């Protein structure tokens, strides 16, 4: 809780200021207060569509209860956002547990360069390893030499094997090697990096499709998780990337990074709701332990607490 509060401090502080202003001089939640609340949510990067959904839910409650004191607004807002987030919840593998019928459990990680993809893979590898699982990483972002090098640094740091080829190699071939190696070792979890070039959507789609096909051939059903990494500090850009990637492949989970140092934390609520994809992890720092399994209640309580 303390770690989360600290990680989300900037958004918290900004939300608190705006919420205080939204109800100043008001005893009752009325249309003015709801208008102000709408502005609070939109300027906190919750996104227009999701903001409207939240306001509608609160309007329903106001209509039902007739009189709501502004001192209760915060509690009601939290309840409604938690309920909204429950529509897209990652049920299967909280706390770095793995489904026992999927071994190795294969995670394909997608996202634009710079969003924190490599760091998230490193942190995940560390978490799984600390939980006693054997991990294999695959460097299938063969487009940039730096991507392979960065992933290697993380692999060495957290002491897990990395399967790689030369820069420019076929990503599907790296995926093939990685899954073959993991299978023969009896590894518990495989995490594969992929190239994040958005400038050519067709290429991106073709590449991801090809990588997936190879995975499924070696381990039927793989990848079991397609994790899209988004940079929370980019606000509306994160929405655009979620849109592009969900067109290119079947994203099953989100990791939203860099929530420390930004006031745009509301993006977590909006992206998940708008694209109907559960948030599985949040990144709140550069360190190896700064990755948390997303807990919607803890998150909302921290943000609006
Ligand atoms: P990639 O290009 O997507 O693989 O991005 P990297 O993993 O190399 O990360 C880019 C930069 O963002 C690095 O300096 C990371 O340390 C930093 N970073 C990644 N995740 C977080 C986070 O949750 N919080 C903060 N503050 N920085 C992060």
Would the CB of 188 count as within 6 Å of ligand 1? no
Q: For the chain, 305 residues long, give each residue's pLDDT as a single digit of tens.
A: 899 999 999 999 999 999 999 999 999 999 999 999 999 999 999 999 999 999 999 999 999 998 999 999 999 999 999 999 999 987 655 567 888 899 999 999 999 999 999 999 999 999 999 999 999 999 999 998 899 999 999 999 999 999 999 999 999 999 999 999 999 999 999 999 998 877 677 888 899 999 999 999 999 999 999 999 999 999 999 999 999 999 999 999 999 999 999 999 999 999 999 999 999 999 999 999 999 999 999 999 999 98
pTM score, whole prediction: 0.96
* 112 annotated ligand binder: yes
CB 300 within 8 A of CB 272: no
Using the atom order of ligand 1, give the atom closest to the CA of residue 261: 26
For the segment 211-255, what is each residue's pLDDT rounded down to a tens digit? Answer: 999 999 999 999 999 999 999 999 999 999 999 999 999 999 999
Would the CB of 117 count as within 6 Å of ligand 1? yes
Give backbone dihedrals phi and psi of 230, rounded to 5 degrees, phi first: -125, 145
* 124 annotated ligand binder: no
* 198 annotated ligand binder: no
ipTM over the 0.90 cut-off: yes
Query: 229 forms bridges with which residues in the sheet?
Result: 255
Is the CA virtual torsion 57, 58, 63, 65 positive or negative?
positive
- 119 CA → ligand 1 middle, Å: 5
- 283 CA → ligand 1 middle, Å: 9
Would the CB of 118 count as within 6 Å of ligand 1? yes
């Amino acid at each position: 809780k303390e770690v989360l509060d600290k990680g989300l401090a900037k958004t918290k502080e900004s939300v608190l200021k705006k919420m205080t202003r939204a109800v100043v001089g008001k005893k009752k939640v009325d249309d003015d207060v709801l208008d102000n609340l709408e502005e609070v949510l939109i300027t906190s990067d919750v996104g227009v569509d999701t903001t409207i959904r939240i306001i509608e839910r609160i309007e329903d409650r106001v209509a039902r209860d007739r009189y709501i004191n502004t001192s209760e607004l915060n509690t009601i807002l939290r309840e409604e956002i938690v309920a909204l987030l429950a529509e897209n919840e990652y049920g299967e593998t909280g706390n770095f547990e793995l489904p026992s019928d999927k071994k190795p459990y294969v995670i394909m990680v997608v996202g634009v360069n710079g969003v924190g993809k490599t760091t998230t893979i490193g942190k995940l590898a560390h978490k799984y390893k600390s939980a006693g699982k054997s991990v294999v990483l695959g460097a299938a972002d063969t487009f940039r030499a730096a991507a392979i090098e960065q992933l290697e640094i993380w692999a060495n740091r957290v002491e897990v094997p990395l399967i790689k080829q030369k820069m420019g190699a076929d990503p599907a071939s790296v995926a093939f090697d990685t899954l073959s190696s993991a299978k023969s070792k009896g590894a518990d979890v495989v995490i594969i990096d992929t190239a994040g070039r958005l400038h050519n959507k067709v290429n991106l789609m073709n590449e991801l499709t090809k990588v997936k096909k190879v995975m499924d051939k070696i381990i039927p059903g793989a990848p079991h998780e397609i994790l899209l990494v988004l940079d929370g500090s980019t606000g509306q850009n994160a929405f655009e990337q979620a849109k592009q990637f969900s067109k290119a492949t079947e994203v099953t989970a989100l990791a939203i990074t860099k929530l420390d140092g930004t006031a745009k934390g509301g993006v977590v609520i909006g992206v998940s709701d708008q694209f109907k994809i559960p948030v599985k992890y949040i990144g709140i720092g550069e360190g190896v332990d700064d990755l948390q399994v997303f807990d919607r209640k803890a998150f909302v309580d921290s943000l609006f607490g």
